[in-house]
Structure formats: structure tokens, C-alpha cells
Amino acid sequence: MIVNSTRFGEIDVPDELIIEFEQGLPGFEGERKFAYLPQGDSPFAYLQSSQNPDLTFVAVNPFAFYRDYGFEVDQATVEALGLGDGKCPLVMNIVTVPPQGVEHMTVNLVAPLLINVENKKAVQLVLPNSAYDMKKRLFPSGLPKWAGLRKDK
């Protein structure tokens, strides 16, 4: 699928990297199909709307930063994703990069993205009564050297 992006230009995305949020995303209900663009071995990926060239989300594998992160997925969500036989979805969370720079990035741990990598269905699950933060700093002690963005590396 050809996807136009103001961030990446015109990109040819293999069908296996197109995911569909059948209900859209909260605040973006009309946006249903996204190109899932992993960044190599990095825990980060981009989600580029297939319809809106201006809409790109940065997402992160939360377990790379928060090993004890966990939540329960209700049966309706399991069924909506088509997960069976105890299969687990890919879990990603949306990141916000503020004007102050990447060292101040936050992640929304209250509303994880769940992706069935086999059928490409996805949902954003809003965790009710969550003890997690909507704006949890990814790098509270500053950027690590592995991030490749530090000035003192």
C-alpha cells in the first residue's frame, strides 16, 4: 500500500505492516488504518495514518522501560482482536514528544495499543481506574547513552 506522509514522504508499506483500528482511536475515530513502522531493534515505532499524511504517532514497547507494567484484557477486547488459544497481542503505547525535546518525552500508560500481529486488528484499550500515568516520563534521569541523542556520548 502506498502511504503519503508529511514526515516520511511517499512510502510503499507491505500489507503485513498495515494495521486496522476498527473503532478508530479516541479523538481520532475516523482514522482506522495505520502503517506500523518499527525502527529496527529500537523499542520505538511510528504509526502513520494511511489517510491523513499529517497524522503520525510515535509508539513504544512499554516493557523496554517498565518491566512491571501489566493489565488485564477483557473478553470483549480479546474477541474484537480475534485472539485465541491464549495468544498475546503486541503492546505499544503512544509517546508525546514535547517542544522541550526528546529527553522530555512522555508515554501514555493508561491507554495501551493492542495489536494482533496475525490478523492486523488493533484497539486502544483505556484502562479503567488505572494507577498508571497518562504522561509518564520515559527518561526521568536524562537520555541514556544508547539513545544516540546525548551530547556527551
CB-CB neighbours of 124 under 10 Å: 19
What's the pLDDT at 142? 80
CB-CB neighbours of 134 under 10 Å: 13
Do the strands 121-124 and 90-96 form a parallel or antiparallel pair, or are they unpaired? Answer: unpaired
Whether pLDDT at 151 is above 50: no
What's the pLDDT at 146? 59
User: Phi and psi at residue 41, in whole multiples of 5°?
Assistant: -85, 0
What's the pLDDT at 148? 52
- Confidence band (pLDDT; 50, 70, 90) for 45? very high
Better-predicted residue by pLDDT, 87 or 86: 87
Domains annotated on the chain, with CATH = 2-147 (2.30.290.10)
Q: Is 6 in contact with 12 (CB distance < 8 Å)?
A: no
